[in-house]
Copies of this chain bind each other. A is one copy, B any other.
Amino acid sequence: MSNTKVLPLLEPDGESAAPCCPPLTERPLDAAEAETAARMFKALGDPVRLRLFSAVASHEGGEACVCDISDVGVSQPTVSHHLKKLKEAGLLTSERRGTWVYYRVEPTVLAAMGRLLVNASAAA
């Protein structure tokens, strides 16, 4: 918890994927919509990445630094790799404050993903 190593996580922010796509029951997705939505689902399609994501999402205040979420049994470079993938998919944002980079879930993207599925299941 008191590991003071600074991780090389300095990617620019603001590359989030925009929420996309109608509920899956409304009509077949077109190719572009499917590309966007599949990228987000794929980001959650790895067990370690999903555990890290839930660790950030469930952490106090909805944000966490790498120091808070490194107990999933993989090395810190692997943790950083997965967090970067989640950022690239638009599911997390990050901000450097002092020594650490803090990660937050991106609520609009997550809500859009959820609606894709919940509306789909309600209408099925």
Contacts and interface: CB of A to CB of B under 8 A. Distances in A.
Interface of A: 24-31, 34-35, 37-39, 41-51, 53-55, 57-58, 62, 69, 72-73, 104-105, 107-108, 110-111, 113-118, 120-124
Residue from the set A24, A46, A72, A122 with the largest chain B CB neighbour count within 10 Å: A24
Interface of chain A: mostly helix, strand, loop or mixed: helix
Contacts of A69: 28
A105 B118 contact: no
B50 A37 contact: yes
Contacts of A121: 105, 107-108, 110-111, 114
A27 B107 CA distance: 17
